[in-house]
Amino acid sequence: MLRKSLLAGVVAAVLSAPAMAADVAAPLAAPAASPWDLAFGAKLMSDYNFRGISQSARGPAFSAYAEVRYNWLYAGAAYWTTKLPTRPIGEIDLYAGIRPVIGDLTLDFGLMYYLYTPERQFRTDIVTPPGALAGVWTPRNTDFLEVYGKAGYDITPQLNVGGALYYAPNWLGTGASGLYAEANAKYKLPNDFAISGAVGHYWLGTTSVFGAGNDFNIQDYLYWNAGVSWTYKDVVTLDLRYHGTNLTTQQCFATTGDYRGVLTGAGRSNWCGHSVVATLSVDLQYSKLPLR
């Protein structure tokens, strides 16, 4: 009887040992990565240049943004300081879209709403200051909606090429359509440097808000940029970039309604001319913060 009891105890211990060992040695499962994330940042610029045209009257500007992400989906808002003829406190961009990543290909499809508030229509037809040009120079409201599609492809770990297409049915509230197409490329250099550039073309339609005899066809134009950047730990970036368009100073004035060209009577604007812009930006991502 004693022998049977001892044998049963040994057998039970042997059979239970692997299970106990497995329980002790089993690695803890890593927590699943959250599909949610938050990106946010800010930048200082010597000039806010938007597709070749200054939005800050060739002066310094500031921008900040925040973007919520869920897998491929995203939505965000950005604020830019401006100095425009309608005198808004700045530009507020509200946007949302989907950003699929398929191997080395990144796609981006979305909507952007440009909000300028509060605005005052810039006109000198009722009261014309001495030496100024008389006329109505802006719509009452320059807010507008734009749809876009972008693509970028990593040919090598260092070289990325891409393209983008943007369409606005009511560009800057003028009633004219705006279609912008761009090709771009970026090449990573050693020591976190990179060179990049883009060439784009804007096709702009005819205004419909100024009344019979005052509406006009907005000049199409070619835009290009090229620059060098340095990034520290994927967070801080210093960028020095040359921007240029093929618009003359008279064409630029007709496109922008530059208040200085109106008030001086010159009928010209340098907002679309050749310029070099320095930008210091900080970009953070919640999932990559070391102390979150």
Residue where the block lists tokens 């040009």: 133
Query: In total, how many domains does the chain have?
Result: 1
Distance set, CA 211 to CA 86, 168, 205, 292 (Å): 19, 21, 15, 56
pLDDT-above-90 percentage for the chain? 86
Instruction: Look at residue 21 and tell me if it is in a domain.
Output: no
> In terms of C-beta density within 10 A (0-12 exposed, 13-18 middle, 19 or more buried), how is residue 10 classed?
exposed
CA separation for the pair 136, 124 (Å, rounded): 6
Range of the domain at 179: 71-223+247-275
Instruction: Look at residue 170 and tell me if it is in a domain.
Output: yes
Query: What local confidence, expressed as pLDDT, does residue 32 receive?
Result: 76
Distance set, CA 90 to CA 109, 229, 261, 263 (Å): 25, 26, 21, 22
- Decide if pLDDT at 208 tops 90: yes
Instruction: Look at residue 140 and tell me if it is in a domain.
Output: yes
Instruction: Look at residue 160 and tell me if it is in a domain.
Output: yes
**pLDDT confidence band for 212 (50 / 70 / 90):** confident
pLDDT tens digits, one per residue of 111-121 = 999 999 999 99
Instruction: Look at residue 65 and tell me if it is in a domain.
Output: no
Residue 127, C-beta contacts closer than 8 angstroms, at least 6 positions apart:
none
Instruction: Look at residue 105 and tell me if it is in a domain.
Output: yes
Instruction: Look at residue 49 and tell me if it is in a domain.
Output: no
> In terms of C-beta density within 10 A (0-12 exposed, 13-18 middle, 19 or more buried), how is residue 25 classed?
exposed
pLDDT tens digits, one per residue of 129-183 = 999 999 999 999 999 999 999 999 999 999 999 999 999 999 999 999 999 999 9
Region of 21 (left: φ > 0; alpha: ψ -120 to 50; beta: rest) is alpha
Instruction: Look at residue 66 and tell me if it is in a domain.
Output: no
Cα–Cα nearest to 245, from 199, 205, 203: 199
How many other CB atoms are found less than 10 A from the CB of residue 157?
8
